[in-house]
A and B are shown apart, each in its own frame.
Chain A
Amino acid sequence: KQEVTQIPAALSVPEGENLVLNCSFTDSAIYNLQWFRQDPGKGLTSLLLIQSSQREQTSGRLNASLDKSSGRSTLYIAASQPGDSATYLCAVWGNSKLTFGKGITLSVRP
């Protein structure tokens, strides 16, 4: 059974910091991995999708990497801003099923 872990559950950083959010999964036989952002009381917004054959994807200040062999993905946020404050979730497609992590709640202090 696939398990997806995101640690820590919460993170607080000052504005301007570059930061890394981690996602680990137990079964490396995955189809793809997707990172989402969720604001309080809102739905999930897709940030980046990494197919299993890819190593990384970039969108603006965001960069996501995937290492299937070690069961890890990282979401790198450059020059963090207060508007980046949200919960970030990763989800892994594998064996015809999507498994979500519980998310990391990020707070960027002005």
Chain B
Amino acid sequence: DGGITQSPKYLFRKEGQNVTLSCEQNLNHDAMYWYRQDPGQGLRLIYYSQIVNDFQKGDIAEGYSVSREKKESFPLTVTSAQKNPTAFYLCASSIPSRGELFFGEGSRLTVL
């Protein structure tokens, strides 16, 4: 089945560690996105990529990094510079011409 796969579903990190969240899609979508969701704050855009080897910062990119070496993959690294990384992270993809967004199941990161 076509879709977006995020892993791991749950992740625990010690302060000072970098962690990488995986996002893979087999929908053949050009655009991919990373969002962060916190209670009461809605979804906030971290990074997005419209084509391979190109990506743009969103509203809250500080402390995060991404790469887009393949069309299917858009991993997000949460670095130790991110001050408050505990959150629910959502990956999405879309066909830019249509604009319809499809989401993965999310990854919950907890910093101990």
The interface bits of chain B over 92-112 (1 if a CB of A lies within 8 angstroms of the residue's CB, else 0) are 100000111111111010000
Q: Does B43 contact A (CB under 8 A)?
A: yes
A8 CB to closest chain B CB, in angstroms?
Answer: 14
In the complex, are the beta carbons of A100 and B99 less than 8 A apart?
Answer: no
Q: Which residues on B sit within 8 Å (CB–CB) of A36?
A: 103
Does A7 interact with chain B (Cβ within 8 Å)?
no
Q: Does A21 contact B (CB under 8 A)?
A: no
- Judge whether B106 and A42 touch: CB under 8 Å: yes
In the bound complex, residues from chain B placing their C-beta under 8 Å from that of A46 are 100-103
Q: Are B90 and A101 in contact (CB under 8 A)?
A: no
Please classify the interface of chain A as helix (H, G, I), strand (E, B), loop, or mixed, using the class held by over half of its residues.
strand
Nearest CB in chain A: distance from B5 CB, A: 11
Q: How far, in angstroms, from A32 to B101 measured CA to CA in the complex?
A: 11
B31-74 vs A, CB cutoff 8 Å, 1 = contact: the mask equals 00000000011110100000000000000000000000000000
- A102 partner, pick from B6, B41, B90, B104, beta carbons under 8 A: B41
The answer to whether B99 and A93 touch across the interface, beta carbons within 8 angstroms, is yes
Which 8 pairs of residues, A with B, have the shortest CB-CB distance? A43-B103, A44-B103, A102-B42, A43-B105, A100-B43, A49-B100, A43-B106, A93-B99
CA distance A33 to B94 in the complex (A): 14
Q: Is the CB of A91 within 8 A of B104?
A: no
Other A-B pairs, 5, CB within 8 Å; known A32-B100, A44-B90, A46-B100: A31-B99, A32-B99, A43-B6, A101-B42, A103-B42
CB distance from B88 to the nearest CB of A (A): 8
CA distance A101 to B40 in the complex (A): 11
Alpha-carbon gap, A102 to B43, bound state (A):
8
Partner of B90, one of A31, A34, A43, A93: A43
